[in-house]
Every structure is written in C-alpha cells, then in structure tokens.
Structure 1
Amino acid sequence: MADVQLRGLRKRYSGGVEVLKGIDLDIADGEFTVFVGPSGCGKSTLLRMIAGLEDIDAGDVRIGGRSVAALDASQRGVAMVFQSYALYPHMTVEQNMGFALKMSGLPRAEVRERVGQVAEILQIGPLLQRRPRELSGGQRQRVAIGRAIVRRPEVFLFDEPLSNLDAALRVQMRLELARLHRELGTTMIYVTHDQVEAMTLGDRIALFNAGRVEQVGTPLSLFEQPASRFVAGFLGTPTMNFLTVSATPAGPGEGLSRAGVRVPQAGASARRPTTLGVRANDIALAAPEQGLPAFIEVIEHLGDTVIAHARWAPDQPLIAVRLAPDVPPPRAGDAVGLRIRTERAHFFDAEGHAIAA
C-alpha cells in the first residue's frame, strides 16, 4: 500500500490545448479517492498520467514517497481497470487473470493459487474455465478487476469501470467495489462522471472543472459546503436551484433578495452576492400569499419521490421542489408559494465563488 502525491501536474496537447493546469493533490495510504467531473475536464487524463500511460509535461507523481514520473507503467506498482474490459477473447477467465503473473515468471502453482484466492473474493470461482464471450457484462468486469487484484499493486486505478453496465448492475458493482476496498485496504483512485458513484464510493472526492481541481473533501462536505456555484450545481439530484438576486438595504450587513431571503451584503470585501442557491429539499410549497409566488409547470413522479417544477418569473429558470411523501402533489398550472429554508440557502458572487451567509 502507498500514498499518492501529485505536484504541479500539467498536460498540453498539440494545438496548445492545456487539459491539466497544475494539479496538486494528496491521496492518503488506503484511501478511496474519486475523481469526478463533466466530460473533458481532465480527470481520465490525470489517471493515465498516474498510471504512466500519458506523458507528463510538468510536475511530479510520487507513489509511496518515490517519484515515478520517469518510470514505465510496469514499474510504478499500480494496476488499472479500464472502461472496456480488455479481456483476451481466446483465453479462459483463469488465464486472463493469471496472464500478467505468468509473464512475470511466477511459478504456475503460485499463479493458480493467487487466481483462486481472488476468484473467491470476487465470487467468480465457477467461471474460471469460461471464456469472455460466455460471461455477462458484470462478470466480465469482475474478471477485469480480478486481473488487477492478483498483481497485488500498491495502488488501484479505475477509469469509469461501470459505465458499460446497466443501472441495476452498476448499483451491485458499486457495493462490490466498496466491499472490496474494505477487505483489501489498498489505495484506490476512481474516475467517473457519475455523481452517485462519487458520493457513494469515495472517502474523498476531487471535483474537476476545466483542467483544475475545483474542490476536494468528503462527499458530505462538498454537498453541504460547496466552494463554488459549479460544485453546488454538479452535486445533487435534482441539481441545486439558482436564482438571480438583487440585494436592497435591510439592516446592518444585510440585504433582501427578490425571493424574500436575507442576503449577506458586500461589506469591506466588496463581494456582492448575485446568485442564491437552494436545494429541492429546502423548499416547501405553500399558498401563493405565504411565499414567493410561482406557478407549477411540471410534476415528476419518481416512485416514492415527487418533484414539482415551478417558475416564479418569466426570466428565471424552473425551480425544483421535492415534495413530502404525505403531501398531495399540485397540478400543472396551479399557483403556489415557494417557502425557502433561509438557513440552508447558499450565496455566490459574480465569479461563482461561495459567500458565507
């Protein structure tokens, strides 16, 4: 096992496009860290640089205290699981899992023993003599993970390994990966664009945006205390509601937005809030005269959850409200009042940075 230190990592492709703009990040020994962000933000490129599959233009990668930036991928003590299973179609499951060990010169008996141990952990023992074409997608992914485990690396790298699976299998494999991390205790770095995977798997999340790390922390800290409008809008389903605010004097150090919410004034910092953010759970429906007047446009029935989408002004986006299970849902066209839990509101300045209320 080993910690991972990333220092000033930069990557530029031909044409001058800089996809990573100086990444500094520490990943503790035994930690499950998730790189998450929209497509094209640089998270997979960074993972491949850690693995040694992409050249580093500037900066350093240290694994277990040693610099590996100049080492080949095979010398870094890492094992990578890809989005595509990348299994040899003519080999059995057992042969696929043991191939790297065989090529490294390990005795056949030891290879079989290690493959058998890992197959038991992943519950694929009965599949060892099958070939990839005889396996389901979930079984193939288990084999790909097993092929990485048998190498006993210091660090596991996962590049969107569940994206080819259907929804039910993704849930099952998330649970399997969480269990696997508890059992092995090995450092794991996992790349995904799926915020649910990030929130449920990671000890910590590094949220990427346009080649930079926007915020690092526990899943709960990023959800509850977003450092920017980008973080607030990326995490959470439905996404956070954003309202344009215009503060008017309402007392020392305060203002009042059009939504009837107390807004922190600029003060000495001259950082005036321009956006109010509030999650669907922190808005309740009331009579029109008892809250921000709005009209219901769409009702989403999602099993045990109902989401009402309302609009309070023609120039404002729809506002999502998660309804309590025991509240009869309104109908499209109904006039309502939106009551915002002011203590749960978030505020952002013109650059999108969070401002403390």
Structure 2
Amino acid sequence: MTLFPAQAAWFEASGHAVIVNGDKEQARRNATEDALRQAMLFAGASVKSVQMLANGLLQDEQLEIRTTGEVNQLELIDEIYHDGMVTVNVRADIFAQKTTCASADYQKRLVTSWFTLRDQRQGALGGIEDIGKALPLQLKQAFRKSAQHVRLTSIDTRYIQHGGTPSEASLMARRMNGQYVLLAQVDDISSQEADTPSWQFWADTPPRRQAAITFSLYDGQQGELLWQQGYATDAPWEFDRYSTVDINSQTLWSSAYGQAVTRMLQTAAQDIDEFLACQPAYGRVLHVTNQTLQIDLGERDGLSVGDELTLFQLRQFYTPGGQLQQQYRLHPHRVRITEVFANTANARAGDDTLLGNIQPNDFVARR
C-alpha cells in the first residue's frame, strides 16, 4: 500500500435529518454529520479521526468522524427547516490523506443473508420478530449511500447461521456470485421501561429499546473469517406497546429507533468498506476458449481493458487431524484484459503464452 501526499481542499455538501419529537438540535447534529460524511467520502479521505469542531457550529461537542480523513475547518452555510425535516449545508476544509493499493479501484461484490435474531422473545414488543429480514435491505441502502469499494449485490432470503463453517461461506459465495460474505446476528433488541419521577405519574415516557448486531465478514473464496465487529445503540420506542409495527414501513424507519439503527448500519457499512478497500479483488474463470479466458468480473466491478490479473488454482483438503487447508497454485504468467462487458470480461496471456491446465472455476485476482 502506498501513501500519497495529503492535500487540503474545500468541499460543500448537504445533509438531511428527520426532526423527532421536536428535537431540532439532535436533528441538526445528525444532518451536519451526514453532510460532513458525504464531503469526506467525496474527498477520498483515508484516516479515521475524531475532531473537536468548536467553531460555533458544534461548539463544545465531539463529532465522531467514522469515515476517514481530517477536517481543518467546518462552516455552516445555512440550515432549513421544512415539513419535519432539517437540511444543513456545510463547507468543510478537508485534509484528506489518500491511500491506494492495486485493488482499491475495484469494486468488491459482497453478499449477505437475513440476519438471525438471537432471542425471538425480544421481538414481541411491536411484533418485529422478523426484523432480520428488513435489516439487510437497510444495510444495502447504507452501502449505496456511502461505500466506495464495495457493492452489496445479493441478499439470501434465508437465515444463515452466524458463525458458520468456512465451507458454508464458500458455498454461499459461489451460489450468489459473491467475492465476500457478510453474516450477521441481532444480539439484542430488548426494551427497558424509562424511569419516570413519581410526581410525573401522568407522563407516558416511552421505553428505550436496544439494537445490537454482530457482523462477521468472510472471504468467499476460502471461507476464512476476515473481520468481526459488534455495534450497539438504543433509542426511544415510541409506538403503542400493544400495536404491531411493519418492519418494512417508513413509520418504523423514520422513528427515533429506526433512525438510530440506520446510523448504526451506516457506520458498519463504512467500516466494512474501509476494511475491504485493499483486500484482493478476485473472480472466477467461466469459460476457456483456445487462449482466451472469460471471467466473471466486468465494468461494474471496475475492470478496464489492459488490466493485468494473477491467475491461480485453489485446492482445499483436510489434514489427518481434520483441519481444512488451502493450497494455491499460481500460473507463471499474468493475464491481460482484452475486452470488458458489464459483468464479464475476456483475458489473454500478455505474451500469448499457453494457458495450460486452466479450467472453469479457477481464479483470477488483483492484489
């Protein structure tokens, strides 16, 4: 990985947030963070930081920058309140420290499944026992909004056991044409009644509800667990305790609880995107015709004519002790992309060397 000299630049961006329970200040902070995140992503920042923004916009408050980069100065252009929403326009002086690597300009294909719920009983309040079906859709939106290196391409409409075996992750990747596999478990969506002073006996303070999710990221090629992280948040549960809430409704996702969960998923998506930025971008050989290979990487994955890829075969076997081992056989010559289509590409050896023993389901990679 190579570091390039950092350069400062000004960026303008707009952020939006719903005003919940009349709390304009919280909505303003959320909108400001959204605007700043967009500016930093556009700047291509690459170093996590937490900046004290004390120029009057977020005075005496810390705004955790979960994207990468450093803000030298942040100016509020304007803030507009309309129809229960706040729009904040900011101008930021970003000192982005860009990183690059051979695979950073390739989009990685990520696949996931419905999130398993550790304790079904916790979903009784609001009847959201199936929230694990809606969460991957919200996560997909988070990737679309902010990811630079990852596309969440498919969601398996099954509950895949969190912490599965390497072979399960590999099979899922092959079945869904994914390069990396993300499995998730909802650890906690329990609720707790808020403490109400006795002299405010008439007040109906909504309970606070937890949201805790553990994500596990696997290499789809060999099923190896690459990364694991837990995230947690909580927010008021504003709905009637006897009503059933539609897990796919705007009513849920625009509520305080829905917004808190959405922000948590955005944080997870950004962390995964950053982690996978310099991970190998690889694909499979689909067909071999004479000396031309067709592979399952294309323009949507960032491939261009002239790119050079490493060609290899992977063999998996178990040792006498029962441990799964990986064996890589690298082809002595790299292949060069000659034609690029939306989801596939054709490649040949750079010097027309014979590509002997290459067959469908072998791999190409850019590391």
TM-score, structure 2 as length reference: 0.23
TM-score, reference length from structure 1 = 0.24
Structure (1 or 2) with the greater helix fraction: 1
